Amino acid sequence: MNELLIKMQELATRCQAILDAMRSPDVQEQRSTSHKTKVEYERQAQQLLQRARHVEGGLFAVVQSTRCVTTFRKRLVALEHFLCSQQEQLTRQLNAPAVQAAEILHLQFFLQLKHLQALQRLRQAGMTGERAKRRSKRQSLAGLPANWRVDLCKRAVGGRYLFSLIVLTLTGCRPSELVDGIDVWRGKDEVTGKLLIHFRIRGAKVKGSQGQPFRTISYDTNDPHPLTVVVNELLDTQPEPRVFVQLRSAVNLTVEIRRLARSLWPKHKQPITAYCFRHQFAADLKANGDDEAASRGLGHISAETRRAYGTASQASKGHRLRPLQIDAKRPVKPRRCGPCTKRRGEPKP
């Protein structure tokens, strides 16, 4: 028994050394990881470990079986979080006053070491397979009708997602921000005296130096855009000109958008998703001549980020969006300009 206990302690030390050597900042700051995310990490990690039992090459081969860089990285993070949690559980059992089922615990530590060694090898090797060419959602806008957003909303009339699609169009918000809920109300601007329709968005992807915690996109009530007119009419039916728009599932919204788009444009090659609305929103704002407003409207804190979204040439040739004002909590950091002075091989600042 003492000999087995010594072996388990040695295995525990080796496992902990590997974890300490490769632990990422994401794992060190587990307090910032939501319970839902942790559950998803555990589900994905257990799925990978189960598949590894039946695949030649084991865990290394299973994790490498993707052409998507994002998927590969998510698998590594999921495994790291899960194995870190497993290590804590096994260590508690080892340090218990009376170690129960020592042989089973020894086997669990042995498998833990095997998995950690595979993860360490994956971290060192990186993604070794062929990488799929990343395709931006803004490419999906090519070939769509000038008023595709309006057409899609018309097709959604009578369905449960109509007003969500209208808000998606007029704000370019992320689907997850619709899940958090968006305030829509009508009120008079204190400075200009104009009557405006406001959309207040609680930002997603917000950290200490990233993203806009809140942003408000406002339209003139006299804006002729047909979807602004619809929002005005809806607010007229309320006891107070205010509504709260919220979704239960961002995934279900995307499924519905794909279904509606296929029914309207069956020959369109690229899939239409919620993020296509976001790219079209950015394209319209860039065409209006205010790039910083595009950054604020998208919920970005850096002007560099908007480069990944729709271009001015993709702006709607029909009903282009023209928000009257866009306010955000944080200032937008300007793009760096001037000639690049960094030499090849130098680290990024």
- How confident is the model over 68-109, as pLDDT tens digits? 888 999 999 999 999 999 999 999 988 887 766 888 999 999
Kindly state the greatest CA–CA separation across the chain: 83
Return the pLDDT at 244: 97
**How far apart, in whole angstroms, are the C-alpha atoms of residue 101 and residue 111?**
16
Whole-prediction pTM value? Answer: 0.64
Return the pLDDT at 1: 59
Looking at every residue in the chain, the average pLDDT score rounds to 88
Return the pLDDT at 28: 44
SS (H, E, C) 243-294: EEECCCCHHHHHHHHHHHHHHHCCCCCCCCCHHHHHHHHHHHHHHCCCHHHH
Return the pLDDT at 129: 84
Q: Two tokens at 250?
A: 């961002």
pLDDT < 50 stretches in the chain: 26-31, 338-349
> Which residues does 309 contact at the CB level (< 8 Å), separation at least 6?
138, 278, 279, 282, 283, 294, 298
> Which pLDDT tens digit goes with each residue over 124-151?
999 988 876 655 667 889 889 999 999 9
Return the pLDDT at 345: 41
Return the pLDDT at 48: 95
Return the pLDDT at 341: 40
Return the pLDDT at 132: 64
Strand partners, 219: 197
